[in-house]
Amino acid sequence: MRRNKKERQRLLQETIEMNPFITDEELAEKFKVSVQTIRLDRLELSIPELRERIKNVAEKKLDDEVKALPIEEVIGEIIDIELDQSAISIFDVTNEHVFKRNQIARGHHLFAQANSLAVAVINDELALTAKANIRFTRQVKVGERVVAKAKVKGSQEKDRTIVDVNSYVGNELVFSGEFTMYRSNKQVKTD
């Protein structure tokens, strides 16, 4: 169904407010218009491009929250975090992350995204990975966006916390891991 410009822009604004991480391509498909039309609509509405929106959301949430490592050491971009509870990061796979011959992402990048998110979600000055049980469930290719979701499961011992991390491309699980994190101070309660 084709909408007039005013209606499309109103719906575009609502859609981006509900999901600031939606791409211009996804918006173009949703509204059955070209990517260029979406970009022009965003420009008219003063809505920044995706990378800037992600940065804005992350900066609001991350100010002085992440304690266990400097934010620039996190692999991917943290877009949401509740210390000792949950966190989400995104990682865009580019040519530098893949094997040249088949364009498949090197596994250590997916592991690094998940592991650094597991460290970042811990509310402690010192958090280290003591053990990891990981599983890759499908190959990730260049150009895909990996969304990692960490959930703190609770304490195993007084100085250990379990963090589950699942990574997705779209709705498809591509990586899962259970990280046993060493922490130097107080424990977190289990859900």
pLDDT given for residue 186 in this prediction: 56
Amino acid at 29: E
| Residue 106 φ/ψ, nearest 5 degrees | -70, 135
Q: Other CB atoms closer than 10 Å to residue 63's CB: what's the count?
A: 9
- Residue keyed to tokens 């990586």: 175
- What's the token pair of residue 103? 């364009």
pLDDT tens digit string along 92-106?
Answer: 999 999 999 999 999
SS (H, E, C) the chain: CCCCHHHHHHHHHHHHHHCCCCCHHHHHHHHCCCHHHHHHHHHHCCCCCHHHHHHHHHHHHHCCCCCCCCHHHCCCEEEEEECCCEEEEEEECCHHHECCCCCEECHHHHHHHHHHHHHHCCCCCCEEEEEEEEEECCCCECCCEEEEEEEEEEEEECCEEEEEEEEEECCEEEEEEEEEEEECCCCCCCC
pLDDT given for residue 169 in this prediction: 96
pLDDT given for residue 191 in this prediction: 47
Q: Which is higher by pLDDT, 107 or 53?
A: 107
Class of domain 63-183 (CATH, top level): alpha beta
CA distance 148 to 77: 10
pLDDT at residue 175 tops 80: yes
CA distance 147 to 78: 10
| Residue 149 φ/ψ, nearest 5 degrees | -125, 120
Architecture of domain 5-47: Orthogonal Bundle (1.10)
pLDDT at residue 40 tops 80: yes
- The mean predicted confidence, pLDDT, of the chain is 86
Domain ranges of the chain: 5-47, 63-183
pLDDT at residue 61 tops 70: no
pLDDT tens digit string along 109-166?
Answer: 999 999 999 998 988 888 899 999 999 999 999 999 999 999 999 776 678 999 999 9
pLDDT given for residue 119 in this prediction: 92
Q: How many residues does the chain have?
A: 191
Region 59-69: mean pLDDT is 58
- What's the token pair of residue 77? 């971009």
pLDDT given for residue 50 in this prediction: 78
- The rounded percent of the chain whose pLDDT value lies above 70 is 84
What confidence tier does 79 reach under pLDDT thresholds 50, 70, 90?
confident
Region 46-70: mean pLDDT is 67
